[in-house]
Amino acid sequence: MANTTHLDQLRRSPAAGLTDEMAAAEVPGVVAVREIAFAPQLGVRAVPGSPSAERIERALGVALPTWSGQTTGDADGAHCIWLSPDEFLVVNASRKQVPGEADAAAAAIEGLPGQVIDLSGNRTIIELSGSEARAVLEKGCHVDLHPRAFQVGHAVQTLLGTIPVIIHRSARDTYRILPRSSFAEYTVLWLIDGMREFRAAGFATRGLGGA
């Protein structure tokens, strides 16, 4: 694949204009927000267990999930998020997108039902982490984020405030929010506003992050 150095000189991530604001909003050890920019994101349509799915899995090196909320693979590398019974999003958080991301998998299912397309520009990834990350999200998330209901590795499509997003709990105190690129700045500003209470002088961590 092509080197990303030249691409990085040309492209601007959806939340790049708020980099300084995200850094200033951090409360060390409590809550922080950052953008994971330009991560490869491939849209996959295939029925798990079908010949198409098997070929896609071999080409991408990650299995397709089989139930709602499941993710497979390495959250810090290549992983796959369940969106519907035959729709998935394959993400690689370890590197940046380059042209031709979907070519090998798309070629592998030539003549078979299914689809693999590069959707990297469709969404960005906003990562919220820290012991109070869940408390921030709970101010406007429409699903139950308690660890009993939303374990590490789970992902859902929901609303954050009024914005449709995917939320992926990638680690114990880390949540990745995937809004459409056009809503990236709004999402970041919403999260920063939700973090303000934890920047107050004398704040002591209340341990709301859960298990």
Which pLDDT tens digit goes with each residue over 154-179? 999 999 999 999 999 999 999 999 99
Full residue range of the structural domain in which residue 84 is found: 39-120
CATH number (domain holding residue 128): 3.30.1360.120
**How much helix, strand and coil, in percent to the nearest 5, is found in the chain?**
25, 30, 45
Whether residue 128 sits in one domain with residue 24? yes
Whether residue 104 sits in one domain with residue 149? no
Nearest of 109, 119, 114 to residue 40 by alpha carbon: 119
Whether residue 114 sits in one domain with residue 52? yes
Q: What is the CA radius of gyration of the chain?
A: 18
Contact (Cβ atoms closer than 8 angstroms) between residue 151 and residue 65: no
9: in domain: no
pLDDT at 39 over 70: yes
208: in domain: no
Whether residue 156 sits in one domain with residue 108? no
Whether residue 148 sits in one domain with residue 192? yes
Percent share of the chain, pLDDT over 70? 92
Whether residue 171 sits in one domain with residue 153? yes
108: in domain: yes
pLDDT at 201 over 90: no
User: What average pLDDT does this structure show over 55-75?
Assistant: 98
- Residue 207: pLDDT band by 50, 70, 90 thresholds? very low
pLDDT at 4 over 90: no
Give the CA angle between residues 98, 8, 177 to the nearest 5°: 75
Whether residue 60 sits in one domain with residue 98? yes
Residue type present at position 155: A
Q: Where are the beta strands (DSSP E) in 24-132?
A: 32-36, 41-45, 71-73, 78-84, 87-92, 115-118, 125-129
**Rounded distance, CA 13 to CA 160, Å?**
20
Residue range 79-138, pLDDT digits in tens? 999 999 999 999 999 999 999 999 999 999 999 999 999 999 999 999 999 999 999 999
Whether residue 60 sits in one domain with residue 47? yes
H/E element, 19 = helix 19-25
> How close are the terminal C-alpha atoms of the chain, in Å?
39
pLDDT value of residue 203 = 60
**Rounded distance, CA 47 to CA 70, Å?**
15
115: in domain: yes
Residue type present at position 20: D
Q: How many domains does the chain have?
A: 2
- Among residues 120, 136, 163, the one where a domain terminates is 120
